[in-house]
Amino acid sequence: MDDVENTPGPLFAPITINRLTLRNRLVLAPMAVLCPEADGRASDQTIAFLAARAQGGVGMIIASGCASQRCADEYGSPMLRFDIEAHVPRLKAVADAVHAHGVPIIAQLTTAFGRMGSPKSPRPLISASPRNIVIPQDALPKGLVVPGGLSLPQPQEASAEEIRELGQSCIAAALRAQRAGWDGVEIPAHGSYFLASFLSPWSNWRTDEYGGTPENRARIVTDLVRGIRAQAGPDFPIGLRISCDEPVDGGQSPAEFARIARLVVDAGADYVALLDGCSERLDRIFSAHDGGMVDSGAARVFKQSLPVPVLLQGLHDPAQATRAIADGHGDMVILGRPLLADPNWPRKVRDGLAGEIVVCNRDNHCLHRTMLNLPAQCPLNPEFGNESQQRSQASPLHRLLASSREQAVLKLSGSGRFMQLATKVMLRKKK
């Protein structure tokens, strides 16, 4: 890790998003590590995990959640649910716990997972067009072994009625988040999820009002942003998450993605968060190196094109994060894996103690466990996944049995032959 001067620097300058004034430029990324209850209700662990990152000094938290029953069906594991009115009190408890540390919290609302959805979903997977995801082995991130790569099932083309229904469910979820005291929402149109599939001609071959021109391809998101803005009011922050590049043969360029992002900003979005790559290149999204979108120049294309804050991904090193903001590549830095390894990363950098950071080794142990439907953990931070101490309160026998099962699954997942068989079983459609 590079040296960082003992001064706050640009990472700790305040910034405003709509009505929110953030105390610094560091943001907790939305991740599937919230451990909600089986019904999608926020658990004590959900609250404790997010409160620990707020206490660690981030300027803003973005938490992932479901905006529809279809989203919940397609994920296959519990996600925080914003589509159920009875969950509002627990969602309010989440917001209150984060606000106690002076940190705003944003709900990232997934309408549907689209071609990234679980093949075990009780309904057909839908996307802009029937293009499936194919990930070669050499495009998988470190720590994930699937010999021959991974090919997901082909989705169906979404109907206009399904598009409108999912849009309405997301607007309703946004209003539910607002009633629960959350500070804003983020629309995820990145990677290869449902909304993202519309934005690029590479995955959108439609000839109706949702295909063809950039305006038509952006329509599903611009309509959604306008719908939320009309009902939530002018002071409710709305963000967009979008890929900054599509590193596949025939994929869309940063300039073309930035044009789409500008259309969404003109529709009412208050910030744009960038993701490096698409799901066909998970090695780019979960990179083993810092600064991909900065080094390629993709981030600067967005910064020069947009009148709202731009959030950068893939900067684990505080010195590189500082330079990226100082040099005008973006305005804020999103931290995912680094805040699993060390929730106090922001506070340590602020206090000139960057040398004491527990540095993420990028081995993707957390991702590996999540993909195997095991509780999220980090070998560098034993407290992660147990912030509420729920795990420590389990009986010794229960802990021993759970640990034995997990170790067996993890050991088998390192076997190429086992992963080939497991992948075939996983992709076998439920009858």
Q: What is the pLDDT of residues 107-144, one digit of tens each?
A: 999 999 988 888 778 889 999 999 998 888 888 877 77
Q: Per DSSP, which regions of 270-409 are E strands?
A: 271-275, 310-312, 332-335
The rounded distance, in Å, linking the Cα atoms of 153 and 325 is 40
CA neighbor of 157 nearest in space, from 117, 111, 124: 124
Nearest CA-CA partner of 12 in 360, 342, 321, 329:
321
pLDDT confidence of residue 8? 56
- Nearest-angstrom CA–CA distance, 54 and 49: 9
CA–CA distances in Å: residue 397 to residues 385, 393, 394: 19, 11, 8
250 and 202 Cβ atoms separated by less than 8 Å: yes
The list of the chain residues with pLDDT below 50 reads 3-7, 397-406, 408-413, 415, 418-419, 421-431
The predicted pLDDT at position 402 comes to: 44
Residue 229's pLDDT is: 98
Determine the Cα–Cα distance for residues 353 and 343; give it in Å rounded to an integer.
14
- The reported pLDDT for the residue numbered 343 is 97
Token pair, residue 173, equals 């979820």
Q: What is the DSSP letter of 25?
A: S
Dist. CA 113–CA 129, nearest whole Å: 14
97, 55 in Cβ contact below 8 A? no
pLDDT tens digits for 283-336?
Answer: 888 887 889 999 999 999 999 999 999 999 999 999 999 999 999 999 999 999
Q: Look over the chain and give the mean of its residue pLDDT values, rounded to a whole number.
A: 89
Q: State the pLDDT at residue 413.
A: 47
CA distance 304 to 308: 10
pLDDT score of 399: 45
Amino acid at 88: V
Tokens for 331? 């305005």
pTM of the model: 0.89
Residues in contact with 305: Cβ distance below 8 Å, sequence separation at least 6, in sequence order: 255, 258, 259, 261, 262
pLDDT at position 139 is 81
